[in-house]
Chains A and B, each alone.
Chain A
Amino acid sequence: MRIRPWVPWLYMAPALLLMGLYLVYPMATNFVYSFMDRYSKEFVGLANYVWFFNNPDTLETLYNNVLWLILFVFGVVFLGLAIAVLLDRVPYEKVSKALIFMPMGIAAVGGGIAWKFVYAYAPKGEEQVGLLNAIVTSLGGDPIAWTINQMSVFPIPSWSLNDIMIIIVAVWIWTGFSMVYCSASYKSQPRELRESARIDGANEWQIFWRITIPMMRIPLTTITVAMVTFALKLFDEVYVMTGGNFGTELLALDIYEYIWTFQHWGRASAIAVVLLIAVLPFIIYNIWDYRRRGVI
């Protein structure tokens, strides 16, 4: 079949046009807008960036994103891996997997509301209809307003209890994803390898660290990178649970607030650039990874 040189571009034209309009043009313009005022009319130089890095609220946001980066990513990767490896040894693997994967379909809004109910709080002495406070009070403790309580749990003041409670919700949603990914990789490892290690006298712990983990290096890296970028871009779970109040703000929530609540679009664009720069190393890794696999 003889193909004229412009034919492939004709097939790609609608896709390239739409991606140009909705991705390329906005990305380029966003940089320009980040140096302009709230109406995108006058240039203000670096003012939006100076503001971002000197404002206690946005700095708290950055700290919160770092906390998410650590706890959310570790939680999802560790739980997914542990569950995948352990479920491989029990007969009810399929049922457990379906139930653990289900939150992926429920997603942030449904899941956020389910957990808001788990965290529901009533003053001491009243009936606790939230599962967690019912457990706490039945053990003799005082009920806690889990999504509001800003008790500092780590040396950094903005890392508070309610941040962790929301991170748990996000981990609950995304563990299924990492479990499915890890499980597929674990099952593709030859069983004989572990069997012969067992015969040689290695215990399960040694097999896990010396055989399973090294052989899963690539899928584990892929999930970790995906979850790191996800943690930096995260919006839904926090918006549903607290609306970004009570010190639970994240970068994506700031962008939304500076677009609609405060209507300062210069600042919103600048925060988006900060987010892009934070994600950049992981974007580069992903592109490198596609090249390594020979996809591009």
Chain B
Amino acid sequence: MAKRILVRSMLHGGLLLITAIFFLPTLGLFITSFREPSVVTNSGWWTVLTDFWNVSQFTLENYFNIIEDENLIQHFWNSVQISVPATVLPILIGSMAAYALAWMKFPGRRLALVFMVVMLVIPLHITFVPILRAYLGIEDALPIQLTGSIPGLFMAHTGYGLPLAVFLLFSFMLELPKELFESAAIDGANTWQAFWRIVFPLALPGMASIAIFQFIWVWNSLLVTLIFIQPGSPKAPLNVVVTQIGQMGQDWHNLTAAAFFLIIVPMIIFFSLQRYFVRGLLGGSVKG
């Protein structure tokens, strides 16, 4: 009996410790972002816990400063302008391809599916130099800007996101009852009407999973962004700017406020729609 109590308390102790380790860095970030700059370097953030309800020790100053100094609203807006098209485009374009793959029989269908899977798992790193070369070549020939531009980046994300969108939507549409399609055929609908009126609305829950996964993926994506948009550019999204602030030194009050500003959007989506995110993640874990 004594042994059993010992084992149980070790289990609870271990699990609570692990949970704390997973939670404490975020808590420290959060608390520090609301502390006066002068006290941040003089005492650890955990010291506020002894007198937590004393609200006067907290301030919004860091947020106001960082938003003004770094023009964070503009960079936040850049992030939105990149992430929204990079989410909507692959899903719209991908749903059409998925519809053909799931509901039509045609020679080459299997090959097209294998192609999607191969594209899904290939590392994106192998595409960077040629895409940049092509972008620069187009810029020489035509009066458009692709490198360092928001469309140049979200189009790349669209191409990169397509295999996953097609593949997950294909799996999702395959599950829809076949009778729907047959009854649409009897009613005389053509393939486009069947797609827009029947398949597209029914595939919306599947699209939600992919949308949430892809949005958070693009919002947080650092490497792909840095390849196309240089740090310091006015077009840089929020995560690049926050990384830069982090590399400038140890201004913890500014840095933690900037980091919190960055993670608040994915966190809201994440907590309100966690179920969808997990589903997208399980499918997307092999993404290149």
Q: Report A's interface with B, CB cutoff 8 A.
A: 1, 3, 5, 7-9, 11-12, 14-16, 18-19, 21-27, 29-30, 33, 40, 79, 83, 86-87, 89-90, 95-96, 98-118, 120, 127-131, 134, 172, 175-177, 180-181, 222-223, 225-226, 229, 232-233, 235-236, 239-240, 243, 251-252, 255-256, 259-260, 265, 268-269, 272-273, 275-276, 279, 283, 286-287, 290, 295-296
Rounded to whole angstroms, the CA-CA distance of A118 and B269 in the bound complex is: 26
Q: Is the CB of B126 within 8 A of A105?
A: no
Pick from B46, B117, B159, B190: contact of A1, CB below 8 A. B190
Rounded to whole angstroms, the CA-CA distance of A236 and B177 in the bound complex is: 42
CB distance from B175 to the nearest CB of A (A): 12
Q: Is the CB of A8 within 8 A of B22?
A: no
Pick from B21, B106, B227: contact of A8, CB below 8 A. B106
* B145: Cβ under 8 A from any A Cβ: no
Q: Report B's interface with A, CB cutoff 8 A.
A: 11-12, 14-15, 18-19, 21-26, 28-29, 32, 40-46, 93-94, 96-97, 99-101, 104, 106-107, 109-110, 112-114, 117-119, 121-123, 125-134, 155-156, 158-160, 162-163, 166, 171, 181, 184-185, 189-191, 194-195, 216, 220, 222-223, 226-227, 230, 239, 242-243, 246-247, 250, 252, 255-256, 258-260, 262-263, 266-267, 269-271, 274, 277-278, 281-282, 285-286, 288
Chain B contacts for A128, CB-based, 8 A: 44
Chain A contacts for B271, CB-based, 8 A: 105
Q: Is the CB of B41 within 8 A of A129?
A: yes
Rounded to whole angstroms, the CA-CA distance of A214 and B107 in the bound complex is: 40
Residue of A15, A23, A86, A243 most packed against chain B (CB within 10 A)? A15
Main SS of the interface on chain A? helix
Q: Is the CB of A287 within 8 A of B11?
A: no
Rounded to whole angstroms, the CA-CA distance of A276 and B128 in the bound complex is: 13
Q: A236-B223, A296-B114 given as contacts; is B270 within 8 A of A33 (CB)?
A: no
Pick from A15, A118, A235, A268: contact of B97, CB below 8 A. A15
CB distance from B153 to the nearest CB of A (A): 12
Chain A, residue nearest B258 (CB): A113
Chain A contacts for B282, CB-based, 8 A: 180-181
Q: Is the CB of A19 within 8 A of B119?
A: yes
Chain B contacts for A172, CB-based, 8 A: 21-22, 25
A-B contacts, 9 of them at CB < 8 A, read A1-B181, A9-B106, A15-B96, A117-B29, A175-B22, A268-B129, A272-B123, A276-B126, A296-B114
Residue of B15, B43, B230 most packed against chain A (CB within 10 A)? B15
CB distance from B225 to the nearest CB of A (A): 10
Rounded to whole angstroms, the CA-CA distance of A116 and B258 in the bound complex is: 14
Q: A109-B259, A113-B259 given as contacts; is B286 within 8 A of A276 (CB)?
A: no
Main SS of the interface on chain B? helix
Pick from A102, A233, A265, A295: contact of B123, CB below 8 A. A233
Q: Is the CB of B125 within 8 A of A252?
A: yes
Chain B contacts for A96, CB-based, 8 A: 15, 18-19
For the complex of A and B, list the 7 residue pairs with the smallest distance between their C-beta atoms, beginning with the closest: A22-B159, A105-B270, A26-B127, A26-B130, A1-B185, A11-B100, A15-B97
Chain B contacts for A22, CB-based, 8 A: 127, 131, 155-156, 158-160
Rounded to whole angstroms, the CA-CA distance of A269 and B128 in the bound complex is: 8
Chain B contacts for A181, CB-based, 8 A: 282
CB distance from B41 to the nearest CB of A (A): 6
Chain A contacts for B266, CB-based, 8 A: 105-107
Apart from the given pairs A1-B190, A12-B96, A235-B223, 16 other A-B contacts in the complex at a CB distance below 8 Å: A8-B106, A11-B97, A19-B119, A79-B18, A105-B216, A109-B246, A112-B246, A114-B259, A117-B28, A117-B252, A181-B282, A226-B285, A240-B243, A260-B226, A276-B125, A286-B121
Residue of B42, B134, B270, B286 most packed against chain A (CB within 10 A)? B286
CB distance from B226 to the nearest CB of A (A): 6
Q: A104-B281, A229-B121 given as contacts; is B220 within 8 A of A86 (CB)?
A: no
Rounded to whole angstroms, the CA-CA distance of A116 and B249 in the bound complex is: 11
Q: Is the CB of A272 within 8 A of B18?
A: no
Chain B contacts for A16, CB-based, 8 A: 97
Chain A, residue nearest B167 (CB): A295
Chain B, residue nearest A116 (CB): B246
Chain A contacts for B126, CB-based, 8 A: 26-27, 30, 272-273, 275-276
Q: A86-B15, A236-B223 given as contacts; is B25 within 8 A of A15 (CB)?
A: no
